[in-house]
Chains A and B, each alone.
Chain A
Amino acid sequence: MAFDLTVNGRAHRIDADPQTPLLWVVRDHVGLTGTKFSCGIGQCGACTLHVDGRAVRSCSVPASTAIGKPVTTIEGVSPDGTHPIQMAWKELDAPQCGYCQSGMIMSALALLRDRPRPTDADIDARVTNACRCGTYHRVRKAIHLAADLMGRAR
């Protein structure tokens, strides 16, 4: 039942049922635990990562759907936490418990790829991850700051 998966640019041979949700393959077979489990039904977004550049709630898609497509997790955003979106998050001290923040950042990053200057309405529509600590106020500011930093870098 083995299959190949490319995560953060590295090829992995996965010995698991390909119907296993991508989340658990990433956490338990690839060994990257930054992507989080929370609801298991695609509601909260804590498990958000990118498949082929698109934000995906990985608890609710089989790993087989990612075969042959690049998967990016929070660990792949930058090697050292210096991606503009991470710099913006740190500048605003956005996380509290931080558990949802990997998914939040991955959703925001997918938005910023599609809309480099997102409006508040864009953020409302696209960043639908749940945060129980209530970091939304800083997350919104951080997305706008990230847009500024990424714009400057271009």
Chain B
Amino acid sequence: MNTDVTRREFLATVAAAQGAFVLGFWMPEKAQAQAPVPEINAWIVIDPDDTVTIRIAQTELGQGVWTSNAMMVCEELQCDWSKVRPQYASANRDAREKAPEWTLKVPGDGATDPRGGGEPTFGNRDRTGVSGIPDSLYRRMRTNAASSVKDGRYYLQLAGAEARERLLLAAAALWQVPVAELTARDSVVSHAASGRTTTYGRLAPRAAATPHPRPETITIKPPDQWTLMGTERKNLDVPAKVTGQTVYGIDIRLPGMKWAAVKACPVYGGDVKRYDFDAIRSMPGVRSAVQFPIPDPACTRGRIFSGGVAVIADTWYQAKTALDRMPIEWTVPPENAAVNTSMMRDALARAIAEPGRVRVNEGDVDAGFARAARIVEATYSTPYLARARMEPGNATVLVTGDRVDIWIGDQSPQETRFSASKITGVPEQNVHLHLCHLGGGFGRNGNGPQAEHAIMIANQMRGTPVHMLWTREEDFIGTTYRAMGLARLKAGLDADGWPIALDVRTCMQRDGFGPDASFDVTSRYYVPSYRYSSHTTRFHVPVGTRRGVGQAAHEFYRESFIDELARVAGKDPYRYRRELIARTNLPYKADMLKALDMAAEMSGWGTPLPRGKARAIALEERGAEGNGSATISAMVHTVSVSRAGKVRLERVDVAHDTGFGLVNPLSVKKQIEGQITWFYNDAMHQGTTIADGHVVEDNFNRFPLSRIAEDPPEINIRFFPTSHWLVGMGHDRATSVQSAIGDAIFQITGKRLRDLPYSKHDLSWS
């Protein structure tokens, strides 16, 4: 029951829902007319007119979660899909209520049981919400790790099933007939024997008032019984996105709201020494200036950002204009201010030469090298990378004596709730976080301090709603970075060109994410002797989980090296990969072979191409080292390079596994298309450098984003079924663009490039 939701929270939640009111404006007087409708369970509210509201506990940032989460609930609810309306779940209730008992146990037998709930990853709760939250109302409110479907599916299906069963029980009680004689379909309950029917809308109040007697007996539908899941559904948030009606965090407007523009010290770890507010005091609209310290690392997952100062004004442009003219002096840690990219490269190179932490050591690598017919060695490097979502960081915060309200697009509201409480001293139970759509995410941005900045400012202006908005330049300072990386791969080949020993070393800063991805547990391509060590150093740049996490760079290293080995061996890179996978005993070996074969076949692998054009193939996998959840694909990229050195990704052929079933294949296709663009940018254009301790590429003139003219004219996607649940679709698909463009450049120009992005190299040929 949601009777304890305050009127104010209800209003705000509704205001943030799409199309409910005039966009972005919080209008309590209008909302008053709508009385709350009783909910069936925490995920489902059914209005008398059969409108079904589904509470979504992940954030819609373009991945389609508003639609896929709703599909998982509605598959079981068996309601009329045309009357479904998603709405954000309340992060405040999540702080105050426990999850229903029936959501706590994952049904079935893990990742390879089609009838079960798969393999959700819930850690033990820690206070900040960084780890899993197994028992709070909405379980997992994070939007990260491509895991919204993997982790949420079973309990979202259960939520739909529990509500359906209660609606059926309500009808059985109403008609005094056995529940087994009733059917539910498209929001109608029917009793065939008597010909009676009624609607969910009419049954809802009774169902809402009557708990299910034995919810633990409710089961979820396996994929062979799905009728809604597995079908292509257009995304429910799209209509509002073509009319400008969608409410992002930046669009929030509140009565009496002031705007804050922010400058944080560009050198991480730096702080404000002094600023001269008097110099701008009389500028139009300017109200005040507010200083804030380096955000408490307890609120930013240990990352050290910077202190800064905000100018408060009636409009944001006034605030920003005044801030630009306000003299500010910084206190900068000299050791950080001395850092630049070339020093960091040197430090990585030193660290990778040291003995690292050996994670895998199979066979005898050194003996293998000693008897190898040929040794191949290559060093690859990848730069720091920003996420650069299109919506700059922002949050609107109102702090009063005993309550905090935050309007924000946020990938980790449970963490932000913790931050709000820590900064203001208001208990988490009184923090009301109103989720908005996000203008891109690409890595849990809760670990950047957009919310913390806004809360620290608003906490000094209690009673006034403050909308803090970063400039693009501030967004580049405030984001966390994908760690800069280095890898050294060394293989000993036998006389036939097959690897007999492989030594892999990867290196990134100590707090970088995914340090073992793609190389952990076992080599994916067969080699009798394999050693893998990870190496670290310390840098001051704050790093976080960016799309692809460790997989993105590491698959670039691995697949590039396999291409190099195949070339040295004089073998076809597709058949070379195929043979090396076939020699393994990996549990999903057949799936990887299927992906390679299908992508090769789709692409016309082996058929002649004109000079200046080449194909390259690569395998993408997450989870192939184990026998749990996995996502497996292969892609062939057809690439041209003009004599002047202009690269064009011409065509992409994608063979992708579905696991036991995709929830919304349309969203999956969009995710694959989008990630082709993402990793094309990683491969070709993007790199963040550090000078004097600060980020150099701080806007899109220096951190380029590809445009439609570079989009591949042809993308072909085919799916094949596999016998495991997927890990996820949102972040490490199409990593192959990186190695494939590299190998195509090699085929066409003879140049082997191992340092991303490629555009910084001369790619011309004659």
Contact = CB atoms under 8 A, between A and B. Distances in A.
B237 A98 contact: yes
Given A17-B284, A133-B62, A99 B390 contact: yes
Contact of B666 (A33, A41, A93, A135): A93
Interface string A1-37: 0000000000000001100110010001101111111
Contacts of B678: 134
Interface in B220-242: 234-235, 237-242
A140 B284 contact: no
B700 A98 contact: no
A117 B677 CA distance: 26
B228 to A, nearest CB: 17
22 contacts: A32-B244, A34-B23, A34-B245, A36-B250, A38-B472, A39-B700, A40-B471, A41-B700, A43-B701, A44-B390, A73-B244, A80-B243, A81-B239, A93-B234, A96-B674, A97-B60, A101-B241, A105-B242, A131-B677, A132-B442, A133-B62, A134-B677
A34 B243 CA distance: 7
Contacts of B707: 124, 127-130, 136
Contact of A35 (B234, B244, B677): B244
Interface of A: 16-17, 20-21, 24, 28-29, 31-41, 43-44, 46, 73-75, 77-78, 80-81, 86, 89-90, 93-102, 105, 120, 123-125, 127-140
Interface stretch (B130-138, B288-296, B412-420, B432-440): B432-440
B351 interface: no
Contacts of A32: 244
Interface string B467-510: 00101100000000000000000000000000000000000000
A36 B316 contact: no
A41 B699 contact: yes
A33 B708 contact: no
Interface string B385-405: 000111110000000000000
Contacts of B439: 36, 38, 97-100
A89 B242 contact: yes
Contacts of A130: 390, 700, 705, 707
A60 to B, nearest CB: 12
A98 B391 CA distance: 10
Given A95-B237, A100-B439, 12 more contacts: A28-B316, A36-B439, A38-B390, A86-B242, A89-B238, A93-B238, A97-B391, A98-B439, A129-B708, A130-B707, A132-B440, A137-B673
Given A99-B439, A129-B707, A134 B238 contact: no
Contacts of A37: 250, 392, 469
B128 to A, nearest CB: 26
Contacts of B61: 97
A96 B390 CA distance: 12
Interface stretch (B31-39, B107-115, B617-625, B709-717): B709-717
B238 A77 contact: no
> In terms of DSSP, what is the predominant structure of the interface of chain B?
loop
Contacts of B700: 39, 41, 43-44, 130
Contacts of B677: 131, 133-134, 136
Given A17-B284, A40-B471, A140 B62 contact: no
Interface of B: 23-24, 60-64, 234-235, 237-248, 250-251, 253, 284, 315-317, 388-392, 437-442, 469, 471-472, 666, 670, 673-678, 699-701, 705-709, 711-713, 715
Contacts of A38: 390-392, 439, 472
A81 B242 contact: yes
A97 B471 contact: no
Q: Is the interface of A mostly helix, strand, loop or mixed?
A: loop
A97 B242 contact: no
Contact of B438 (A39, A86, A97, A136): A97
A29 B471 CA distance: 19
A101 B240 CA distance: 11
Given A21-B317, A36-B250, A140-B711, A43 B234 contact: no
B317 A133 contact: no
B168 to A, nearest CB: 34
Contacts of A105: 242
B241 A95 contact: yes
A97 B440 contact: yes
Contacts of B390: 36, 38, 44, 46, 97, 99-100, 130-132
A32 B244 CA distance: 9
Contact of A86 (B243, B712, B713): B243
B356 to A, nearest CB: 34
A134 B679 CA distance: 10
A124 B708 CA distance: 6
Given A132-B390, A138-B673, A140-B711, A96 B63 contact: yes
Contacts of B711: 134, 136-137, 140
Contacts of B674: 96, 133-135
B715 A137 contact: yes
A151 B438 CA distance: 35
A125 B709 CA distance: 7
Nearest to B680: A134
Most buried by B among A81, A133, A136: A133
A36 B24 CA distance: 13
A101 B248 CA distance: 13
Contacts of B666: 93
Contact of B242 (A46, A90, A127): A90
A141 to B, nearest CB: 11
A97 B409 CA distance: 11
A137 B160 CA distance: 34
Contacts of B235: 93, 95
B669 to A, nearest CB: 9
Contact of B705 (A44, A99, A102): A44
Contacts of B440: 97, 99, 132-133
A80 to B, nearest CB: 8
A136 B437 CA distance: 21
Contact of B251 (A33, A39, A100): A33
A24 B388 CA distance: 21
Contacts of A73: 244
A101 B437 CA distance: 14
B253 to A, nearest CB: 8
A105 B676 CA distance: 22
B127 to A, nearest CB: 30
Contact of A140 (B234, B248, B708): B708
Nearest to A44: B700
Those 6 A-B pairs whose CB atoms lie nearest each other, nearest first: A34-B244, A134-B677, A99-B439, A96-B62, A97-B62, A98-B241
B315 A77 contact: no
Contacts of A101: 241-242
A120 B247 CA distance: 32
Given A43-B700, A134-B678, A36 B708 contact: no
B392 A24 contact: no
A41 B471 CA distance: 10
A85 B471 CA distance: 31
- With a 10 A CB-CB cut-off, give which of B60, B284, B711 has the most chain A CB atoms: B711
Given A21-B317, A93-B235, A98-B439, A134 B243 contact: no
Nearest to A73: B244
A94 B23 CA distance: 22
A132 B316 contact: no
Contacts of B437: 97-98
A128 B707 CA distance: 6
Contact of B676 (A98, A124, A134): A134
A28 B242 contact: no
B388 A132 contact: yes
B653 to A, nearest CB: 14
